[in-house]
Structure 1
Amino acid sequence: VHLGASGGPVLAEGLGSLEAIRAASVEEIASVEGIGPIIAASVFNFFRDPENNRVVDRLLELGVSPTVPERSTSPQTLTGMNIVVTGGLEGFTRDSVAEAIKERGGKSPGSVSKKTTAVVVGADPGASKLTKAIELGIPQLDEAQFVHLLDTGELPS
């Protein structure tokens, strides 16, 4: 299955359980936001193979217990936003800043592109990310502005 690291949780959250994924049609799988038709067909075909189902059943018998990721209770202030972080932030680790963005419905890609909403600039930022943000006219935020964005979803004017 060509699902990728983020696809599994997206699919689990979208359909709710392993049994629902196993029983889903290609269309139902593809209707999950973030899952395209190629991935949907791959997942569907995986569960149509009896040998794959035997392996999954055996894993379940051995105690493997797939869980659906908990839905975030954080306000979805960053829905649809792509926030790139460069440099170190005082109040966040690299992992916690990405998690804070994701919990609020945003994405935290590793590079700047025309789809980037804002770049958070911390201590010792990467020159290439900063240069690209300036070239593309993407807003650059300091840590305080980033925290405001997390709380409100509003970019500074």
Structure 2
Amino acid sequence: MHWRSFTAGAILVLLLMTGSYLFSLGPKETSSHSVTEQVEAAIPFDAVTITPLRVIYGKEVPFEGKIELRQALAGKFAQKIIIVNFQASGEHADKSKINIVWENGEVETVYPGTKDRIFPPEKRAKQITVVGYSVRERRIFQDSNRKGNLSWEIHYEPVEM
């Protein structure tokens, strides 16, 4: 007998809650006196210029010995290049580098520890390669590979010429 009264009470409470919820969702009346004005501003098409910015990066990329990681560029060339960060760890990590081959064939090298290096915007790179080096160098015996890590972030604007 007790369970029947409990069930009836629970159903009644559920119906009351559902009814009050549906009542609160009813149509809202707005004042007929308020008028919203829409202002259409003519924005010229050349007012905003959006330049596509690309980012190539690697975070704590593990390697062993020597490695060359050629970066895939969107477009034929990269311009307005900014090396935000380049770090290398491992044995003789100071021999790691980023090689940038410019459009005229000139090669520029950037070494670990570089931050916020901005290249002239008119220079266009056709290839960017991250080179990792972590080797125990020995005079008599053969060099032995060691583990290292590379981290880099490069921003650029693609060029399709």
* TM-score, normalisation: structure 2: 0.18
Which structure is larger by alpha-carbon Rg, 1 or 2?
Answer: 2
Structure with bigger strand share is: 2
Which has the higher relative contact order, 1 or 2, with Cα contacts under 8 A spaced 6 or more apart? 2
